Amino acid sequence: MTDHDKEHDHARTFQPDHPEPTSDAARVGLALRELLIEAGHYSAEEEQEVIAAMQGASPENGGRIVARAWTDAAYKERLLGDGASAIRELGFELEPYEFTVMENTNSVHNVIVCTLCSCYPRALLGMSPAWYKSKEYRSRVVREPRSVLAEFGVELSDDIDVRVHDSTAELRYMILPQRPAGTDDWSEEKLAALITRDSLVGTQRKLSI
Amino acid sequence: MSTPLFSVGQQVRIADRTPPVHHRVPAYAKGQVGVIERVCKLHGEPEKFIRGDGKPAQRLYRVRIPQSGLWQGYDGTAGDDLDIEIFEHWLEPTE
């Protein structure tokens, strides 16, 4: 065994998880990750764990949370009061972000955007859709939310106010959609299956049963 | 620093300035008046974070601004509004 082998620390060896980069920006990003890992700021295993956790996250997690809130009034109150603690009860974690849930009502429709970049509760809901990251959505939904929502098929009458949440700092948002009529005797599991990604972002209002 | 300077319902103005560093106040919100919707936790201040000092030492708030005040000719209801996260050092009392 050579000295080199003895010193070899697998945790500090960068091996790409992704295809070869095709743009200069991607090459710079890859080089930076390689340097951070070599310098020991975090390990390659830690990076893989984070990627795996994000890939395992999906809107289904949001569906579980919403279904619990629909069927348990005390849970719903805790969820709206302190989202981070309430989702921890179900085994979800979004630290260091302040997870925050906004409730749709008969008189208010909520919609989420990040005008500065594309902040999204990825560790909970998975990767955000391409439109959420598009410049068009980010610039227009703050200025003309009703037009943008109409393009998503959400037609709002004048007795419903629109509330836009611009995710500019350390909070991460999810919408609590309204429970559809005719689901009173549904199980939590069956309810959870109704919830869509877009209803959690606010670009869908009515859930179809 | 741990006692919030502003309370829920208080009217505030978002500072209109453009420091030559990374900051997280979009141009459309600068100089706007709104009310504190909620007092959030302490977080790392972006302007310092970019210089390597990201300790959570700055109070964050959510500020609610009426849409009709944000955009000229806004097409919606008088009740439409926008909530935005703003750090304490960007907020000024209106009185």
Residue A117 near chain B (CB below 8 Å): no
Residue-wise pLDDT tens digits, B11-40: 999 999 999 888 999 999 999 999 999 999
pLDDT of amino acid B45: 87
| Residue A124 CA: distances (Å) to CA of A65, A73, A93, A99, A174 | 10, 22, 8, 10, 10
Neighbour-count burial of A158, counting CB atoms closer than 10 A to its CB (0-12 exposed, 13-18 middle, 19+ buried): exposed
Residue A116 near chain B (CB below 8 Å): yes
Instruction: Look at B24 and A98 and tell me if their CB atoms are within 8 Å.
Output: no
Task: Kindly provide the ipTM of the predicted complex, given to two decimals.
Answer: 0.95
Q: What are phi and psi of A9, to 5 degrees?
A: -120, 110
Cα–Cα distance for residue pair A53/A45, rounded to 1 Å: 12
Return the CATH class of domain B11-93.
mainly beta
User: pTM above 0.90?
Assistant: no
B93 forms bridges with which residues in the sheet?
B12
Nearest neighbour of B83 by CB, restricted to A144, A165, A170: A165
Least Cα separation, residue B58 to chain A (angstroms) = 11
Tokens of A131: 């439109």
* Best to test chain B binding among A80, A119, A170 (most B CBs inside 10 Å): A170
Kindly give the pairing relationship between strand B91-93 and strand B81-87: unpaired
Which residue type is seen at B65?
I
Question: Is A58-201 CATH 3.90.330.10?
Answer: yes
Which residue type is seen at A21?
P
Tokens of B92: 């000024």
Instruction: Look at B43 and A167 and tell me if their CB atoms are within 8 Å.
Output: no
Domain ranges of chain A: 23-56, 58-201
Domain ranges of chain B: 11-93
pLDDT tens over chain A, length 209 residues: 445 545 556 667 666 666 777 899 989 988 999 999 999 999 988 988 888 888 889 999 999 999 999 999 999 999 999 999 999 999 999 988 999 999 999 999 999 999 999 999 999 999 899 999 999 999 999 999 999 999 999 999 999 999 999 999 999 999 999 999 999 999 999 999 999 999 999 999 999 98
Residue A182 near chain B (CB below 8 Å): no
pLDDT of amino acid A1: 43
Q: A91-113 burial string, b = 16+ CB within 10 Å, else e? A: ebebeebbbbbbebeeeebbbbb
Which residue type is seen at A142?
V
Residue A166 near chain B (CB below 8 Å): yes
Place of tokens 């960007």: B90
